[in-house]
Amino acid sequence: MDAALLVINAGSSSVKFALFDDGLNEVLSGVASEIGGASRLEIGGGADAVAMPDHAAALDAIFGALRARGIDPRTLKAAAHRVVHGGENLTQPMRIDAGVLAEIAACSPLAPLHNPHNLEAIEALARLAPDLVQFASFDTSFHATNPGVATRYAIPETDATRGIRRYGFHGISYAGLVEQLPEISAASLPRRLLAFHLGNGASLCAIRDGKSVATTMGYSPLDGLTMGTRSGGIDANAVLKLVEDNGLEATRAILNHESGLLGLSGGKSDMRRLMMDPSPKAGFAVEHFVYWTLRHAGSLMAAMQGLDGIAFTGGIGENAADVRMRIMEGLRWTGLEIGAGDGAQLHKDGSPVSAWIVPAREEWMIARDAAGLLGAA
């Protein structure tokens, strides 16, 4: 197999991976999913139940599966990683060295469900293949172009508040969307583009002239839209009340793991299951998701001073046609004329606002970043 570059995308309960050749063609991919539960390893179209109690076990399983296919990480040109939080200093893809590792670790309190697992993957590869060059792409970096009024909370600037600002996330997905949409549409990128990254984690991004100017997630991936298990936006005094009544750790669990669609529906976080559930709670959860997506859409359109195009990506954005249609119906007032929706194009020809489905290709975008850095070395 002509593999040159390994991409690792470590999430809170899964590790995706993909191998690319020198032409950035994907030659193999897979995912270790439901880590800590009914874990499975899917690779090359096959799937097996594999005991993976933690991310270390998942990485061991992945490397073992690659070796069984004749792929030794030590023989690759490079590895590249998705890192969720780069903070204020890591604002572009870069080669990983001791200083970058320290910065990623310093950002772990800002993304406790992600950065530690990102570090674990980097360190595991370093132990397995000490001479392998490794790179990182950061989910926060696409939003480094947001103006200060968009990133600054209205709190005093003191040592006690250092680092408390809006960062934004899903940046690798949005960067890939900006790259892909002109190819899909055979037209230039809409000047004012509203991008919907809708999945278990969900956010919107206002993209003007190809650059992020506003996004719904803030200091952490908890803010903004209703999500699979995250609350989305909530009054800070409500959070303080939860801490007062339940303690810090319980509140963290409530807001990150027990809220969102799961909390509203009484037990379901998967949009496919909710759409098949006729219960009032399930219906309300979906309605809540759509309502707050549209509320935030209006805010981001104001940040761009208008709208020329919209694009959907992510698991829900690409696959949940009914949810997508409800959102588009709620945007008819912008001039959007909804088409048949039997392909990537969702609008009628001649609509003043275009609408598209753009497949999420985070691993490809990470590979592209790394290849560019390799070429510049």
Per-residue pLDDT tens digits for 49-87: 889 898 888 888 998 999 999 998 889 999 999 999 998
What distance separates the 2 farthest-apart alpha carbons in the chain?
58
Over range 223-249, report the average pLDDT: 97
Q: Given a cut of 90, is residue 2 above it in pLDDT?
A: no
pLDDT at 315: 92
CB hemisphere CA count around 260 (13 angstroms): 27
Share of the chain above pLDDT 90, in %: 77
Which amino acid is located at 185 in the chain?
S
Confidence of residue 147 (pLDDT cuts 50, 70, 90): very high
Pairing type for strands 354-357 and 309-313 reads parallel
pLDDT digits (tens, 9 = 90+) for 198-208: 999 999 999 99
Percentage with pLDDT > 70 across the chain: 99
What is the C-alpha to C-alpha distance for residues 154 and 3, in angstroms, rounded to an integer? 49
Q: Which domains, from first to last, does the chain contain?
A: 5-138 (3.30.420.40), 186-357 (3.30.420.40)
What are phi and psi for residue 43, nearest 5 degrees?
Answer: -150, 130
pLDDT, average across residues 97-124: 89
pTM of the full predicted structure? 0.92
Q: Among 31, 54, 35, 52, which Cα is nearest to 43's?
A: 31
Q: For the ranges 14-18, 144-148, 238-242, which has the lowest average pLDDT?
A: 14-18
- 139 catalytic residue (yes or no): yes
Catalytic-labelled residue, pool 21, 139, 322, 349: 139
Contacts of 228 (CB under 8 A, 6+ apart): 199, 200, 201, 202, 260, 261, 262, 269, 270, 271
